[in-house]
């Protein structure tokens, strides 16, 4: 083999789609950790006076006993999950009555609120902290421009993909930051509760997300939702492969604006969670919807998308042809928003998953950085495991449970066991 | 001492690993996944060890033998995991080769296999640096610094960053040596990684004595340099052999 024409090895391209989804998740987590460490130097004091739907039942006080805090946190989480379930069912109902336009406009409106108000408040905190000299007119104008471009990027899919991806990550960062303002015990119990809810909603036969996906599939429509779509991998070799559509459905949806932790009233909370709910499709088949909740759509397929490239199958040795899906050509309808399917074989990850992963890591950051690294690795491992399970079971799976439960487990293990061990060794400069 | 100093310490421990990452690993997505999984494996081994030792900590004695046992058990466990890692890697290699056959691309080259071993080793090295050095670096971003009495000439953060750098190098390259040793069945290479790991960990025991870090750390760097040189020689030898083998093959065709 001459060194001049070294053939391309298989190692160059395997696993690329996974890395393309891990990168934005990592960037989102990194940004939230940086925001939290810069802005929250006093981790306990900021949580208690924060009114939101998630602290409706109980407001944590640092003088309560652990048992009281746990009970209060459980109550809070219960209220939250009940609200989310109700909203998701409302979403299913609205979708059933074909109010899709309303949902799309609502989605745009929520993005406007998140980017404008939440983004504005966080910018104000940062300006205050770093004493940036800026006047209100400039600030107002740039914030308005930023928000409008964001709404357009997210709402309409005609912008450059990097801008859409960037804005989705920013929305995820902003909502995750607001979640970290909740009290500590409530946050942890809420994360576990949401993971269990996701599991139930996607896998149980009566679950709202599953109903939503089935409705969408039976109607051949897409659900308006905020979903992050990774750039599809273009593999020139697979183009002549024919029109077989292979789909792997793993859906993660994200909660759009679940964190309306601002002083929005409960209806807007409901609406946002409705959007979120929409998103999680347990998508047995089509993916497509831009679901927000927990559904990661992985679509592989040879379908050509309206706007772009032909896609390459994801991990080829895992490709299965879905029986009841269309073969080949009729996928042009799916092209756009996606029902994902990434007709181009791109992985779609709901923004709610971004948000909850980042909340977990940011909460770990409020304790110490060692827990951050451990939780980050746990979440990425959970993401990888979910992808493998998806490829194995070939049906829609929720992405939140495995990662969140692993993350919480590693947080507890690190905080209780690892830290003493490592500190003891390092203080004596003993390393291995 | 300030944000600048904190970032400086972090880069000191992780700088070469970062450049290795950017130049070699970030180009191939599979290597990034290998790096993440080997970091996770190292973390899990650390958690298991800390679970085992939690009941005995914090060790209040100034004697050195409990620490010796601690180090022996930890190193033994990690070396055992290395063998497990190798077995998993063999299975993965088979899967990748089958996949390559299916898409009619060439099978894994030797350089590919060495790159996977490098990514695995780098994962271990980065995990070591992160958990033993970076995790404790948070106070370094503030206004003051901290000195350990046994090694009072330089700040604690600097010492731990320097040791972490040496260990990252050792972990990274001994994985390459170990994998090629297992593959070729070369006895020297197979035993090289555990022995070097043990020697390096024992050398850090000298830090328990007063002023011991003055001797321990330069010796640690000698070990790291020996690892680097041995790995370089081994890689060079294998590359030359495989090139001459292919030269013979193409000549005889």
Burial zone of B226 (CB within 10 Å; 0-12 exposed, 13-18 middle, 19+ buried): middle
Q: Tell me which residue in B27, B28, B160 faces A426 most closely, judged by beta carbons.
A: B160
* B29·A19 Cβ contact <8 A: yes
Q: What is the DSSP letter of A6?
A: P
Cβ distance A423 to B67 less than 8 Å, yes or no, reads: no
Per DSSP, A297 falls in state E
Q: Based on the number of CB atoms within 10 Å of its own CB, is B241 exposed (0-12), middle (13-18) or buried (19 or more)?
A: exposed
Say which residue the tokens 């379908």 belong to: A303
Report CA A412 to chain centroid distance, whole Å.
23
B 182-211: CB under 8 A from A? 197, 200-201, 204-205, 207-208
Helix (H, G, I), strand (E, B) or coil at A248: strand
Q: Which one of A9, A374, A422, A432 makes the best mutation probe of the B interface by having the most chain B beta carbons within 10 Å?
A: A432
Q: Which two tokens stand for residue A235?
A: 């593999």
Interface test with A, best of B39, B42, B49, B50 (most A CBs within 10 A): B50
Whether B201 contacts B71, CB under 8 Å: yes
Q: Which two tokens stand for residue A227?
A: 């979903």
Rounded mean pLDDT, B52-60:
79
Size of interface A-B (CB pairs under 8 A): 164
Predicted confidence at residue A372, as pLDDT, reads 94
Is A377–B40 a contact, with Cβ atoms under 8 angstroms apart? yes
Largest Cα–Cα distance in chain B? 71
CB within 8 Å of A60: residues ≥ 6 apart: A47, A48, A69, A72, A73, A183, A184, A185, A186
User: What is the layout of strands, in order, in the sheet containing A247-248?
Assistant: A227-229, A347-350, A296-299, A247-248
Among candidates A252, A208, A199, which has minimal Cα distance to A93? A208
pLDDT-derived band at B1 (thresholds 50, 70, 90) equals: low
Kindly report, residue by residue over B69-97, the tens digit of the pLDDT.
888 999 999 999 999 999 999 998 888 88
Reported ipTM: 0.91
Residue among A7, A10, A15 minimizing CB distance to B33: A15
pLDDT at A60: 63
**Chain A positions in Cβ-Cβ contact with residue B103 (cut-off 8 Å):** 10, 237, 316
**CA-based diameter of chain A, in Å?**
73
Q: Is B24 on the interface with A (CB under 8 A)?
A: no
**Per-residue pLDDT tens digits for A357-380:** 999 999 999 888 899 999 999 999
Closest-CA residue to A357 (of A222, A223, A179): A179
pLDDT score at A7: 67
pLDDT for position A414: 92
Return d(Cα B2, Cα A21) in angstroms, integer: 34
Choice between A96 and B169, residue whose per-residue pLDDT is larger: B169
Q: What is the mean pLDDT of residues B148-157?
A: 85
CA distance A338 to A328: 16
* Cα A251–Cα A253–Cα A257 angle in degrees, nearest 5: 180
Query: What angle (nearest 5°) sits at the alpha carbon of residue A264, between those of residues A261 and A270?
Result: 85
Cβ atoms of A351 and A257 within 8 Å: the answer is no
Candidates A10, A16, A368; nearest CB to B100? A10
> When comparing pLDDT for B6 and B60, which is higher?
B6
SS3 category, A226: coil
CB A374 within 8 A of CB A411: yes
Q: Which residue of B has its CA nearest to A17?
A: B29
B197 in Cβ contact with A432 (< 8 Å): yes
Contact B66, B56 (CB under 8 A): yes
Contacting residues of B for A421, CB less than 8 Å apart: 46, 49-50, 53-54, 57
Closest CA to B190 of B181, B198, B199: B181
What pLDDT shows up at residue A41? 60
Closest Cβ–Cβ partner in A19, A414, A429 for B32? A19
Alpha carbon distance A91, A96 (integer Å): 8
Q: What is the pLDDT of residue A253?
A: 39
CB B190 within 8 A of CB B234: no
Query: Whole-angstrom Cα distance, residue A108 to residue A296?
Result: 21
Instruction: Note whether A280 and A294 are within 8 A (CB).
Output: yes
Catalytic residues of A: 198, 353
Please report residues of A whose CB lies closer than 8 A to that of B133: 426
Give the per-residue pLDDT at A235.
61
More confident: A424 or B121: B121
Residue B207 has its nearest CB partner, among A22, A370, A430, at A430
- pTM (predicted TM-score): 0.81
| Test mutation, A7, A10, A240, A412, chain B, max B CBs within 10 A | A10
B86-101: burial string, b at 16+ Cβ within 10 Å, e else = beebeeebeebeebbe
Q: CB A9 to CB B109 under 8 A?
A: yes
CB contact under 8 A, A432 and B67: no
CB atoms within 10 A of CB B56: 12
What burial class does residue B4 get, using C-beta atoms within 10 Å of its C-beta: 0-12 exposed, 13-18 middle, 19+ buried?
exposed
Q: How large a percentage of chain B has pLDDT more than 90? A: 50
Q: What is the chain A residue with the closest CA to B217?
A: A429
Please report which helix (H) or strand (E) contains residue A349, including its range: strand A347-350
Q: Does B60 touch chain A (CB under 8 A)?
A: no
Q: Look at residue A272 in the predicted model and tell me its pLDDT.
A: 38
A247 — phi, psi (to 5°)? -130, 140
pLDDT of residue A340: 27
Residue of A nearest to B73 (CA): A432
B121 close to B131: Cβ distance less than 8 angstroms:
no
Question: And the tokens for A109?
Answer: 């409106």
Name the pLDDT band for B231 (thresholds 50, 70, 90): very high
Please, which residues have CB within 8 angstroms of residue A168's CB and are 6 or more apart in sequence?
A24, A154, A226, A228, A351, A354
Question: DSSP E strands: which ranges in B138-243?
Answer: none
| Burial of B250 per CB tally in 10 Å (0-12, 13-18, 19+) | exposed
pLDDT below 70 — which residues of chain A?
Answer: 1-7, 41-51, 53-62, 157, 222-224, 233-346
Give the dihedral sign, CA A337/A338/A343/A346.
Answer: positive
Å from B251 to nearest chain A CA? 11
Residue B56 has pLDDT above 90, yes or no: no
Closest Cα of chain B to A195: distance in Å?
Answer: 22
User: Is B147 in CB contact (< 8 Å) with chain A?
Assistant: no
d(CA A216, CA A285): 9
- The shortest C-alpha distance from B151 to chain A (Å) reads 9
Give me the pLDDT at residue A249, please: 41
Six token digits for residue B219? 């010796």
**Shortest CA gap B32–chain A (Å):** 8
Inter-chain CB proximity A429 and B163 less than 8 Å: yes
Chain A hits for B208, Cβ within 8 Å? 428-430
Rounded to 5 degrees, φ, ψ at A305 are -85, 155
Q: What is the pLDDT of residue A287?
A: 35
Contact of A252 with A229, CB cutoff 8 Å: no
Mutate which of B28, B95, B111, B152 to disrupt the A interface (most A C-beta within 10 Å)?
B28
> A203, exposed or middle or buried, with CB in 10 Å at 0-12, 13-18, 19+?
middle
- Inter-residue contact A425 to B132 (CB < 8 Å): yes
What is residue B207's predicted lDDT score, i.e. its pLDDT?
Answer: 83
Contact assignment for A428 to B150 by CB distance below 8 Å:
yes
């Amino acid at each position: 083999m001459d060194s001049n024409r070294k053939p391309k090895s298989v190692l160059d391209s395997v696993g690329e789609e996974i890395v393309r989804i891990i990168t934005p998740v990592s960037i989102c987590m990194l940004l939230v950790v940086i925001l939290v460490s810069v802005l929250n130097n006093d981790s306990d004091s900021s949580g208690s006076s924060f009114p939101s739907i998630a602290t409706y039942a109980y407001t944590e006080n640092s003088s309560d006993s652990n048992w009281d805090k746990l009970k209060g946190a459980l109550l809070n989480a219960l209220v939250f999950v009940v609200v989310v379930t109700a909203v998701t069912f409302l979403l299913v109902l609205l979708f059933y009555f074909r109010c899709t336009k309303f949902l799309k406009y609502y989605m745009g409106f929520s993005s406007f609120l998140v980017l404008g108000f939440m983004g504005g408040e966080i910018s104000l905190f940062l300006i205050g902290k770093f004493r940036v000299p800026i006047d209100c007119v400039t600030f107002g104008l740039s914030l308005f421009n930023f928000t409008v471009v964001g709404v357009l990027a997210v709402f309409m899919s005609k912008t450059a993909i990097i801008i859409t991806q960037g804005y989705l990550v920013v929305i995820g960062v902003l909502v995750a930051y607001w979640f970290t303002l909740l009290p500590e015990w409530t946050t942890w119990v809420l994360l576990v509760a949401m993971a269990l809810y996701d599991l139930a909603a996607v896998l149980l036969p009566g679950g709202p997300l599953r109903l939503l996906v089935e409705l969408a599939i039976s109607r051949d429509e897409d659900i308006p939702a905020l979903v992050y779509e990774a750039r599809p991998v273009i593999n020139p070799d697979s183009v002549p492969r024919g029109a077989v559509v292979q789909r792997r459905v793993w859906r993660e949806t994200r909660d759009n604006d679940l964190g309306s932790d601002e002083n929005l009233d409960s209806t807007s909370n409901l609406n946002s969670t409705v959007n979120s709910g929409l998103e999680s499709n347990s998508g047995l088949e089509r993916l497509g919807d831009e679901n927000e909740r927990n559904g990661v759509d992985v679509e592989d397929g040879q379908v050509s998308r309206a706007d772009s490239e032909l896609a390459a199958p994801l991990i080829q040795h895992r490709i299965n042809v879905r029986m009841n899906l269309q073969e080949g050509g009729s996928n042009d309808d799916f092209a756009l928003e996606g029902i994902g399917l990434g007709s181009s074989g791109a992985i779609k990850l709901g923004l709610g998953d971004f948000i909850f992963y980042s909340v977990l890591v940011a909460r770990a950051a409020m304790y110490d950085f060692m827990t951050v690294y451990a939780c980050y690795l746990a979440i990425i491992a959970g993401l990888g495991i979910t992808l493998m399970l998806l490829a194995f079971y070939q049906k829609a799976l929720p992405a939140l449970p495995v990662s969140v439960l692993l993350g919480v487990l590693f947080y507890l293990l690190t905080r209780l066991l690892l830290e003493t061990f490592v500190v003891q060794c390092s203080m004596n400069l003993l390393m291995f | 001492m300030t944000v600048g100093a904190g970032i400086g310490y972090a880069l000191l421990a992780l700088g070469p690993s970062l450049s290795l990452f950017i130049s070699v690993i970030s180009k191939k997505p599979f290597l990034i996944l290998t790096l993440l999984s080997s970091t996770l494996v190292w973390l899990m081994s650390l958690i298991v060890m800390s679970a085992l030792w939690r009941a005995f900590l914090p060790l209040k004695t100034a004697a050195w033998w409990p620490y010796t046992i601690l180090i022996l058990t930890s190193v033994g466990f990690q070396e055992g995991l290395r063998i497990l890692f190798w077995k998993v890697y063999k299975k993965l290699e088979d899967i990748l080769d089958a996949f390559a056959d299916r898409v009619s691309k060439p099978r894994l080259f030797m350089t590919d296999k060495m790159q996977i071993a490098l990514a695995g080793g780098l994962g271990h090295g980065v995990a070591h640096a992160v958990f033993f050095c970076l995790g404790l670096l948070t106070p370094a971003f503030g206004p003051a610094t901290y000195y350990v009495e046994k090694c009072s000439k330089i700040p604690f953060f600097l010492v731990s960053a320097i040791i972490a750098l040496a260990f990252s190098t050792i972990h990274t390259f001994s994985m390459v040596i170990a994998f090629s040793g297992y593959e070729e069945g070369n006895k020297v290479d197979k035993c090289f990684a555990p022995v070097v790991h043990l020697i390096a960990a024992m050398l850090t025991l000298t830090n328990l004595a007063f002023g011991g870090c003055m001797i321990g750390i330069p010796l640690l760097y000698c070990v790291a340099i020996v690892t680097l040189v041995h790995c370089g020689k081994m890689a060079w030898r294998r590359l030359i052999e495989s090139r001459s083998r292919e030269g013979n093959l193409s000549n005889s065709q």
